[in-house]
Amino acid sequence: MSDTQNKPAKIVNTALTKRRLVLVAVAAVILVVCLAASYWTRGSMANKASTKGHTGLVDQQPWQTASSLADLAVSAEEKQYAREAERLADHEVDQAFAMALRQAAMETTVLTGPALDIQKKIAVLADQVKEDQATVDGLTAQIAAKHGSAEAASLADDLDVAKAQLQLDTDERNDASDDLDRASGDKQSRIQQELTAREASMQKYDSQANSAGEPAAVSVKRYGTLAGRIGGWIDQRSRMSSLQQAQAQTDADIASLTAQHSALDAQSSAITANIRNETAEVAGPDAKSKLAGMAHAHSLVQIHSILEDRLDTEKQLSAVYAKWSAQVALQHRTVRHLALQSMVWIAALIMGAVLLWWLMQMLMDRAAGSASVDRRSIHTLRTVVSLSIQVATLVLVLLMVFGAPNQMPTILGLGAAGLTVVFQDFILAFFGWFVLMGPNGIRVGDWVEINGVGGEVVEVGLFRTSMLETGNWTDKGHPTGRRVRFMNSFAVTGQFFNFSTVGQWMWDEINVNVPASEGTYQTVEDIHKAVLQLTEKDVKLAEAEWKSSDRQHALGQFSAAPSVNMRPAASGIDILVRYVTRAGDRFETRNRLNQAVIELLHKPADAAIHK
């Protein structure tokens, strides 16, 4: 039956275990995939604007790369290289636009189909625009000639209508021109649009002021903390990777332009050779063909000159990227040196703290060997010193790693609020430790009762107090064998009882039953005298210590004298004897008193009466 009942539970546990394993496996796979993807994409540039490729007809990538890298420049030297790179990239893109416009102008397109119809429509619209413009000019002249007359006012209305018609026909002609560009695939207009957009963006860019920055020797010292230096080191590493990729990209452009330059050289040489081999006639159709060839060769020479300028600019840009990368590498080594220095200081601080703790422990161990020093005070001092050294070391290490916070009041307020809510039990326990270490607290070896549990204190820690449990407060020396631990918050929010005075004095009692007889009162008197005699020394010591400890509070006089009380009982008279004794001597004192009472009770009756 038991196996049958436990079988569903085992199945459920097995299913939960498999589910946890599946979740762990999925998380591990995701982690491995992300790490692999991060490793494979480690060479990508940080800024998306600097990636390879362009969407227009003219490649503006050199400028995009240089402008994106300029935002990463930190020191004055880097900013100088960034400005030089931007200047060269700007010039290179301008030359690319000039070259693209010349190449587009050299291309001849034969219009057919819809493109030819749109061209005819544009011609008609152009004539209409000319007529509208002539009408506007004529009406304007008539109004000027008849200024101030009634006819001039009527002509003004006609002029407004003519201007509106001119605007409509102009817009229609422009739309038709755009349609023709799309239908014929004309690149020149599209390149001109890209150039216009670039000039507008460059005007906005030039209007922004660029800061000069600080020298590299000063800027690297801004990383005053270990975290800042490690962050700067990682940032410089990423910046170096971006610069190296930009240089490689520029070198690839140089190779591409070099290939274009060689192809253009070959094409230009072939055209020039054909022109020289032709006849020197200058009339007729052959002369027109020769002139067209010479014009084409002239355009190729201009493009060749622009291409050489672009090639030289790209080479200079690659050299600037190389120098910039070398400058960042120098700063990278400097920051790495500073980070290692910070680690050395932190290691030295930790080693110094360990040596200081070891020295303090030796001194306290030596003091603990002296008979005149309280061991409990040494234990408390050991705890305080160890905690102080640990807290001071932690604070100094955090300051070296992160530095002093900028918004200290806000951070302290939020931190205190969060710690109060989350660690309120530990905070109360921490402050409770100070209460317990006070003059009215407890010490190791004290006999206390905390939250209804009594016992002897064996440890008073920073957050917890431990004691060896006894059955109740009267069973001193008879522990239950259980070690009980309490959070020190009971000293603030609860209550505790300390039954240990200076000498750990306590009241104890014995109960004796005697039969009612003529010598009962004499027996009580004899017992009283015996108790006085046996506890006389303890009474004097207890009264002296109580008076000494409470003198500053001006309390009443305490009496430690024993008392003997009688109570009627069914079998005779109960005699209750109460006396003061040390907690550690309670059982010995009780045995001596019991022995004395037994001897008194067993004396012959006549001897007791005679006495």
**CA atoms lying within 13 Å on the CB side of residue 122:** 14
Q: Which of 30-34, 261-265, 542-546, 553-557 has the weakest average pLDDT?
A: 553-557
Q: Are 300 and 271 in contact (CB under 8 A)?
A: yes
Q: Which of 73-77, 152-156, 536-540 has the weakest average pLDDT?
A: 152-156
Distance from C-alpha of 503 to C-alpha of 485, rounded to nearest angstrom: 25
**How do beta strands 505-514 and 572-582 pair?**
antiparallel
Q: What is the dihedral of CA 354, 360, 366, 369, to 10 degrees?
A: -100
Whole-number average pLDDT of the chain? 75
How confident is the model over 585-595, as a mean pLDDT? 82
Q: How confident is the model at residue 608, as a pLDDT?
A: 44
Q: Which of 125, 134, 121, 124 is nearest to 163 (CA)?
A: 134
315: CB partners within 8 A, 6+ apart? 254
Distance from C-alpha of 204 to C-alpha of 471, rounded to nearest angstrom: 88
SS (H, E, C) 353-377: HHHHHHHHHHHHHHHHCCCCCCHHH
Model pLDDT for residues 541-568, shown as the tens digit of each residue: 887 777 776 555 544 566 778 888 888 8
Q: Are 174 and 193 in contact (CB under 8 A)?
A: no
Distance from C-alpha of 210 to C-alpha of 397, rounded to nearest angstrom: 38
538: CB partners within 8 A, 6+ apart? 505, 560, 579, 580, 581, 582, 585, 589
Q: Which of 74, 399, 406 is nearest to 235 (CA)?
A: 74
How confident is the model over 114-119, as a mean pLDDT? 68
Fold (CATH) for 409-498 = SH3 type barrels. (2.30.30)
* DSSP per residue, 315-355: HHHHHHHHHHHHHHHHHHHHHHHHHHHHHHHHHHHHHHHHH
Q: Is the pLDDT of residue 16 over 60?
A: no
Domain ranges for the chain: 1-42, 409-498, 505-610
CATH number of this structure's domain 505-610: 3.30.70.100
At 300, the pLDDT band (50, 70, 90 cuts) reads confident
Distance from C-alpha of 398 to C-alpha of 228, rounded to nearest angstrom: 12
C-alpha dihedral sign at 579, 583, 587, 588 = negative
How confident is the model over 245-249, as a mean pLDDT? 87
Structure tokens at 503: 């000498």
Distance from C-alpha of 357 to C-alpha of 63, rounded to nearest angstrom: 61
At 398, the pLDDT band (50, 70, 90 cuts) reads confident
At 2, the pLDDT band (50, 70, 90 cuts) reads very low
* DSSP per residue, 14-44: HHHHHHHHHHHHHHHHHHHHHHHHHHHTTTS
Model pLDDT for residues 469-483, shown as the tens digit of each residue: 876 545 555 667 788
Q: Are 235 and 328 in contact (CB under 8 A)?
A: no
Q: How confident is the model at residue 112, as a pLDDT?
A: 57
Distance from C-alpha of 171 to C-alpha of 177, rounded to nearest angstrom: 10
Q: Is the pLDDT of residue 508 over 70?
A: yes
CA angle 76, 80, 86 (to 5 degrees): 140
Q: How confident is the model at residue 609, as a pLDDT?
A: 43
C-alpha dihedral sign at 297, 298, 303, 309 = positive
Q: By three-state DSSP, how is residue 517 classified?
A: coil
Q: How confident is the model at residue 44, as a pLDDT?
A: 47
108 versus 121: which is more confidently predicted?
A: 121
Q: Is the pLDDT of residue 50 over 70?
A: no
Q: Which of 106-110, 121-125, 377-381, 526-530 has the weakest average pLDDT?
A: 106-110
Q: Are 572 and 516 in contact (CB under 8 A)?
A: yes
Q: How confident is the model at residue 216, as a pLDDT?
A: 55
Q: Which of 60-74, 273-287, 368-382 has the highest mean pLDDT?
A: 60-74
